[in-house]
Amino acid sequence: DAKTTQPPSMDCAEGRAANLPCNHSTISGNEYVYWYRQIHSQGPQYIIHGLKNNETNEMASLIITEDRKSSTLILPHATLRDTAVYYCIVSPSGNTGKLIFGQGTTLQVKP
């Protein structure tokens, strides 16, 4: 399985954009980039995923570099409720491949 590298922790001011980086230099052509987050004591929550193109939904934007070796998750206006552990995962296409979680990035949004 391809592996990802994320910084262990980041801070962000409330109302500002949070940019969470992820390196996945060994990603294969058929592997998607997935982002999940886990708020304390809750189950992980799906945020967004993409293959090549940049993606945006109501929660976040996903920017994938042209060589697909890295990506950035952008929370455009972080709130205190966005404080969580954010996981970047690569996995084969489709939702029935298994997701292997790493250690993630702990994002602390501060007032």
Partner 1 sequence: DAGVIQSPRHEVTEMGQEVTLRCKPISGHNSLFWYRQTMMRGLELLIYFNNNVPIDDSGMPEDRFSAKMPNASFSTLKIQPSEPRDSAVYFCASSSQGFNYGYTFGSGTRLTVV
Least CB distance to partner 1 at residue 81 (A): 17
- CA–CA distance, 73 with 88 (Å, rounded to integer): 9
Least CB distance to partner 1 at residue 38 (A): 8
- CA–CA distance, 30 with 9 (Å, rounded to integer): 29
- CA–CA distance, 7 with 13 (Å, rounded to integer): 17
Least CB distance to partner 1 at residue 54 (A): 15
Q: Which parts of this chain interact with partner 1 (CB under 8 A)?
A: 34, 36, 42-47, 49, 87, 94-96, 98-104
